[in-house]
Copies of this chain bind each other. A is one copy, B any other.
Amino acid sequence: MSTAPLQLGVIVGSTRPGRIGREVADWFAAIAERDARFETHVLDLAEIDLPLFDESSHPALGTYEHDHTRRWSELVGAMDAFVFVIPEYNGGFPASVKNAIDFLHREWRDKAAAIVSYGGGSGGLRAALMLRQVLNVLRMHAVLDAVTLRLSEHLDPERRLVPDATLDQQANRLLGELARISVPLRTLRHA
């Protein structure tokens, strides 16, 4: 099996002004960058700036009309694994995340994924559970290990993220499991 580093896409799911999501993603990406098994890429949906889904053919056909779709397809297609960094809005994940997912199809298939969720008391757990169901339908492989970040415990008075050793450990455990399944999944796709 190939020993080339795994291409890891850290998807910043929230795009709203004032989001904490980019900080959470940067914390996670810094840990991933210290892990030699991965080459880490931050895919910030606010920068990628997709409109609401506007393709007229089913994404499974891969016949994209728009440049923004082709650019996103190329980014996602080049990855071996993903970490979705998501907040919880009304018990689910934000529209920006579902939108970015639904634009594509084969680019996700047979790839490993993990979820870093954040929110109030339950750390975005409900959003993460909904996202798992969607990833499953896309034939992605979501690892059980996750980061479930309770903002009530991890923001300073200026509302900046304060990670701790426990969170770092959760992130590393998630990365270990992601690496473990990404290597054989890569051979599936290149068969």
Interface membership of A90, Cβ < 8 A: yes
Chain A residues within 8 Å of B, Cβ to Cβ: 15-18, 51-56, 89-99, 101-102, 126, 130, 133-134, 136-138
Shortest distance in angstroms between A10's beta carbon and chain B's nearest beta carbon? 20
Given A16-B54, A56-B16: A138 touches B102 (CB 8 Å cut-off)? no
Report how far A91 CA is from B54 CA in the complex, Å.
Answer: 19
By the criterion CB–CB under 8 Å, are B95 and A133 in contact?
no
Question: Which one of B16, B90, B94, B98 lies within 8 Å of A92 (CB-CB)?
Answer: B98
Q: Which residues of B contact A98 (CB under 8 A)?
A: 89, 92-95, 98
Which single residue of chain B is at the shortest CB-CB distance from A98?
B95
Question: Which one of B18, B102, B136 lies within 8 Å of A95 (CB-CB)?
Answer: B102
Q: Which residues of B contact A55 (CB under 8 A)?
A: 16-17
Q: Which residues of B contact A99 (CB under 8 A)?
A: 52, 95-96, 99
Q: Which residues of B contact A137 (CB under 8 A)?
A: 90-92, 126
By the criterion CB–CB under 8 Å, are A15 and B53 in contact?
yes
Q: Which residues of B contact A51 (CB under 8 A)?
A: 52
Which single residue of chain B is at the shortest CB-CB distance from A96?
B52
Q: Which residues of B contact A91 (CB under 8 A)?
A: 133-134, 136-137
Shortest distance in angstroms between A129's beta carbon and chain B's nearest beta carbon? 9
By the criterion CB–CB under 8 Å, are A17 and B138 in contact?
no
Which single residue of chain B is at the shortest CB-CB distance from A95?
B99
Q: Which residues of B contact A92 (CB under 8 A)?
A: 98, 130, 133-134, 137
Shortest distance in angstroms between A62's beta carbon and chain B's nearest beta carbon? 15
